[in-house]
Structure 1
Amino acid sequence: MYRFLVTALLLCTGGVLQAQQQEGAAAFSKDIRQPGVQVFDVRTAEEYNTGHLPNALQADYTNKTEFNDRVKYLDKQKPVYIYCLSGGRSSKAAQWMRENGFSKVIELENGVNAWKQAGLPLEGVNEKKPQLTMDAYNKGTAKGWVLTDVGAAWCPPCKQLEPVLTQFLKQHQQVKLMKVDGGNDTDVMKTIGAKGLPTLILYKDGKEVWRKQGVATAEELAAAVK
């Protein structure tokens, strides 16, 4: 059951009254398994990489540019289950989201700290993997048409981009895909100048011919290979 606090938040859009809603770890764990739920981690990327809830997307609430850029790719009509380390940042982020048209935002009471105390598992704990090397990257982009996708599973706009890439690659089978993990392959990202997620870079025989930071359309990608 939801814990309704005494203070209600007045949404800016339409004057609709929406109460702050929090759930304990056990209820939160159960509810995020529902179809269509969006799980949203508003800690830093470094905190996220120490362990996160299943299927969680990430945006650092304290980095306003990053937060505002990523939150717009969440579906306002679907439930958002939000959390941080102890509840402070997620409470502020949830309030902002309610005031900006999100229909249902549920907070994890006391955050990851409460999740751990309840004995619930986190994903991604101690999952270190070797970085992609520049040598491997250069070899992978040296011949023919190659599209580099710098993204991450936890990045909301990257999720938005996935079906676009699937459609494009199906229609342009001469183009190979090179994946760069935005949460792991930081050396490659720095070298190729990928400063945000997602970043798309198109190569022809090892030469960069097109680049875009952000979500591209299938039409933009198709025009780039002509």
Structure 2
Amino acid sequence: MKKLFFTALITAACFNVQAQEKIDAKKMEEMIAKPQTQILDVRTAEEYQGGHIPNSTNIDWKEKEAFAKAIESLDKEQPVYVYCLGGGRSKQAAQYLTQQGFQVFDYSGGMMDWRNAEKPEIKPNGGKEAAGMSTEDFDKAINAADVVLVNFSAAWCVPCQELKPTIEKIEKEQAAKVKVLKLDADQNKELMKVLNVRGIPQLTLYRKGEIAWSKAGVPTEAEIMAEVDKATK
């Protein structure tokens, strides 16, 4: 089953049966007002419980076999709207759904964009969520050393895990040059909103409390250290 699933996914990445269209928060908000709209939140169940878009259904993209089974109940005559936290998982899910014959709309901004736009959010846990780092404490942290490298990431984020060894190496071997501040995206939603962080992994280098460099994605160690060296001059 897994082999067939991934074969289908690879095929979908190269040959889309139907075009996938990206949409913004405004369009998604219009869709949630229609009860019959098929909206899929492809994050983990834990993330979903922490807050989700109204009228959405949670089907975890990471649970591949369960995902394939769950979408069998969807109506192929109706479009499917997909989102995650920042676009990575929804893009993959959209490719697979398209290959399966669905018309797919990918809200690539995901929950980070939704929250930044201050759109309505359902919080099953009663609105309780991790307080995370306050803006006051963050300001103190980025001024705790001349050069500070801030890394927003998450355990479920594949690119974040690819970057993790590089960040840990820099933290260990370059401590004299740069202080590393690692922040979990799921635990610091409000801070990310204030800082306008719209995707992870996100690296931001601060020099004396001011932004010297910012990069989304997975830069190399050499690229990061080149910016650190500039900031320390």
Q: What TM-score do you get using the length of structure 2 for normalisation?
A: 0.49
Identity, in percent, stands at: 27
Cα separation, 1, equivalents of 2:185 and 2:9: 37
2:162 maps to 160
Structure 1 unaligned spans of 5+: 14-41, 72-81, 83-88, 97-124
Residues 202, 69 of structure 1: CA spacing in aligned structure 2 closer, same or farther, 3 A cutoff?
farther
Q: Separation in 2 of the partners of 1:192 and 1:63?
A: 21
Which residue among 68, 79, 82 is the counterpart of 1:62? 82
SS in 2 for 1:225: helix
Distance 1:10 1:186 in 2: 31
C-alpha change, 1:92 and 1:168, in structure 2 (3 Å) is: same
Deviation at 1:4, TM superposition (A): 11
The aligned residue for residue 142 of structure 2 is 141
Q: CA deviation at 1:63?
A: 3.3
* 1:34 alignment partner in structure 2: none
Q: Distance in 1 between matches of 2:3 and 2:152?
A: 40
> Is 1:48 aligned to 2:35, yes or no?
no
Task: For 1:181 and 1:45, locate their aligned partners in 2 and report how far apart those are by CA, in whole Å.
Answer: 15
Larger fraction in helix: 2
In the alignment, the residues of structure 1 paired with residue 182 and residue 210 of structure 2 have an alpha-carbon distance, to the nearest angstrom, of: 17
TM-score (norm 1): 0.51
Q: Which runs of 5+ in 2 are unaligned?
A: 13-40, 51-57, 65-80, 102-123
In the alignment, which residue of structure 2 is the partner of 1:99?
none
Return closer, same or farther for 1:3/1:189 CA change in 2, 3 Å cut-off: closer
User: 1: CA distance between counterparts of 2:44 and 2:89?
Assistant: 15
Structure 1's 224 and 10: CA in aligned 2 closer, same or farther, altered over 3 A?
A: closer
| CA distance 1:94–1:172, shift in 2 (3 Å) | farther
Aligned with 2:170: secondary structure?
A: helix
Conserved 8 A contact 1:70-1:157: no
- Distance change (3 Å), C-alpha of 1:69 and 1:146: farther
Change (3 A) 1:46 1:222: same
- Are positions 1:171 and 2:173 aligned together? yes
* C-alpha spacing 1:144/1:130, structure 2 compared with 1 (3 Å): same
**Residues 198/10 of structure 1: CA separation in 2 closer, same or farther (3 Å cut):** closer
Mapped partners of 1:186, 1:62: distance in 2: 20
